[in-house]
Amino acid sequence: MSKPSLTHLCLIVVAAGTVASAQDLDKAKLDQARSVIAEAALLETAAARGRVTQTYAQALRDTLREDLQKLARSPQFAATAHAALTALDRHDAAALAGLRDRLVARERSHGRAD
Amino acid sequence: MAGLIEIVLGIMTAVGGFVDVSELTFAAQAGSRFGYSLLWVFALATVGIIVFGEMSGRVAAIAKQPVFCLMRQRLGVSLGLFTLIASIVVSLITCAAEIGGVAIVLKLMAGGAYLIWAALSVAALIVIVWVLPFEWIERLFGLLGLLMLAFAAATVALHPPWREVARGLVPQFPMHLPGGDRLAYGYFAVAITSAVLFPYETYFYSSGAIEDRWTPSKLPVNRLTTGVGFSLGSLLSMGILISAAVLFRPVHVDPREPATVALQVAVPFGRPGLLIALFGMLMAFSGAAVETCLAAAYSLAQFFGWPWGRYRKPAETPRFTLAWIAGFVIALALVLTNVPPLDLVEWSIVFSIVVLPLTYLPLLLIANDRKYMGRYVNGWVANGLGVAFYAIVVVAAVGAIPLYILTSGGQK
């Protein structure tokens, strides 16, 4: 087997860096998806208990909807984001909490420490 | 009696004006992500702002010199100019972040479009700064900002585990966390230090002392305002962190927006609590927007020796007046580019800490100079604390940008 050339070594380093940054990106996206959906669940719970005004709830829903629509563009999170959007439109806190818990489990499998 | 009222008003104004959009969001994120373990950073940084705040007020009262005059004298024109440009950029980014926060709160209170609220709020702030005397600008936002105490009440109502909270006040570094989370912890520690020690606070505070024509007789007011006012303000920030650890951490919410943080008050106190908290946030962020914008104009005018001050009529200080109006317009332009407000908050936090060593060095030197300060020169306590906190600020400044890049702004 021939000795690896400098070009080979550079390619290996670049590939490793790309894989690492892709993993970081996935983890950051996963964190973001979990937090947005958790926020939506908390909002819908508070709204159902009459703890927030309608204007506040609507404004926060709009922001969360935008965040979820951005997430839906990523193939990895499209299904979850669409499910969360549907639950948000139905003000379904339980469904949102279920989606959040699934993402938390995924994060834990990726080594998240609580 | 008048003296007592002045002291109480000064303290209340300092408390009401302590929390801004950066402290609110970083305190809430820190609590949600790391529980109570970053409380000690708040406590430590608060001692730092008390030390440097007191020093800047004392130097203003005795040497009659605001921070930027000192900077030009002590750092020389080149380094002084670099600091001036960096400080103005940081102040304007911070001002934009505050305006973004104001617009978000108005949208949460009344509906409508974020960008329209941003434009309307800047117009309103320009009118307020133009019309009101300096003292009233400070008191209007500072006193109404006291409605933020709803967050402190919410902390008590959420029944945090006080023993664990107390443990968070002990300096610690979570070695048990994975490497990425340890870096994020470091990033949050630096960000909290920066949010508490924002450079605009000393520019504004020392310029305000000159606006109010402080003399040595005001030194006790200075000591109480910084000591008591900043401590109580910091307790409020710590309350936001504690509430986030109680409310957001168990349900895995990383509150990246002021809108979410308001839920801390809504959950225990319902709609009335939510409205009080939102109004308090509106006043606190508006006050910080005014302070940052005026701080940028003060810096510019003091560096170039232009006539400045809100105690003078705008026609007597044309370049200063133009500078603060331009500051608001530039900050608004930044908001109108639709940059997410949290990005603005992060940039302002990171770049502020980089500017801090250059802000505090001349202050420390003058406060130690008997030629300027006479018998009001730094004692050994102020000096020891000043040097120790200066070292902390330098370490934080060196680490800020690498930590920001390595953690993608604490998100990794």
For the cut 80, the answer to whether the pLDDT of residue A23 exceeds it is: no
CA distance B412 to B409: 8
Judging contacts by C-beta atoms under 8 Å, the chain B residues touching residue A64 are none
pLDDT tens by residue, B328-361: 999 999 999 989 888 888 888 888 888 889 888 8
Question: How far, rounded to the nearest angstrom, does the alpha carbon of residue A54 sit from its chain's CA centroid?
Answer: 26
Direct distance between the N- and C-terminal alpha carbons of chain B, in angstroms, rounded to an integer = 54
Paired tokens of A35? 């937090």
B113 in contact with A at a CB cutoff of 8 Å? no
Paired tokens of B259? 């809108």
Measure A3 CA to nearest chain B CA, in Å. Answer: 33
Give the model's pLDDT for residue A13: 41
Average per-residue pLDDT for chain B: 91
CA distance B394 to B356: 8
**ipTM of the prediction:** 0.89
Chain A residues 60-89 with CB within 8 Å of chain B: 60, 63
Angle (deg, nearest 10), helices A6-48 and B263-304: 120
| pLDDT digits (tens), chain B, 412 positions | 667 777 787 787 777 778 899 999 999 999 999 999 999 999 999 999 999 999 999 999 998 877 777 777 777 888 888 888 988 999 999 999 999 999 999 999 999 999 999 999 999 999 999 999 888 898 899 899 999 999 999 999 999 999 999 999 999 988 888 878 899 999 999 999 998 988 788 888 888 888 888 999 999 989 998 999 999 999 999 999 999 999 999 999 999 889 999 999 999 999 999 999 999 999 999 999 999 999 999 989 988 889 988 888 888 999 999 999 999 999 999 999 989 888 888 888 888 888 889 888 888 988 998 988 999 999 999 999 999 999 999 999 999 989 998 988 877 6
For the cut 60, the answer to whether the pLDDT of residue A3 exceeds it is: no
Mutation target among B252, B260, B275 for the A interface, most CBs of A within 10 A = B252
Q: How confident is the model at residue A112 (pLDDT cuts 50, 70, 90)?
A: low
CA distance B61 to B347: 33
A48 in contact with B at a CB cutoff of 8 Å? no
Placement of tokens 């670099």 in the chain: B82
E strand spans, B152-257 = none
Q: What angle do CA B299, B301, B307 make, to 5 degrees?
A: 140
Judging contacts by C-beta atoms under 8 Å, the chain A residues touching residue B254 are 31, 35
Q: What letter does residue B253 receive in the DSSP assignment?
A: -
Angle (deg, nearest 10), helices A93-109 and A6-48: 150
Measure A7 CA to nearest chain B CA, in Å. Answer: 26
CATH pick for B2-407 out of 2.170.190.11, 3.40.50.880, 2.40.170.20, 1.20.1740.10: 1.20.1740.10
CA distance B72 to B70: 5
Predicted TM-score (pTM) of the model is: 0.91
Judging contacts by C-beta atoms under 8 Å, the chain B residues touching residue A51 are 266-267, 270-271, 274
Give the model's pLDDT for residue B296: 92
B235 CB neighbour count, 10 Å cutoff = 18
B107 in contact with A at a CB cutoff of 8 Å? yes
pLDDT tens by residue, B230-273: 999 999 999 999 999 999 999 999 998 899 999 999 999 999 99
B262 in contact with A at a CB cutoff of 8 Å? yes
Tell me the mean pLDDT in the region A78-87: 96
Give the model's pLDDT for residue B412: 67
Residue B105 and residue B144 in contact, taking contact as beta carbons nearer than 8 Å? no
Give the model's pLDDT for residue A111: 65
The residue extents of the domains of chain B are: 2-407
Placement of tokens 């109570």 in the chain: B36
For the cut 90, the answer to whether the pLDDT of residue A94 exceeds it is: yes
Contacts of B281 (CB under 8 A, 6+ apart): B24, B101, B105, B148, B258, B262
Average per-residue pLDDT for chain A: 82
Give the model's pLDDT for residue A15: 45
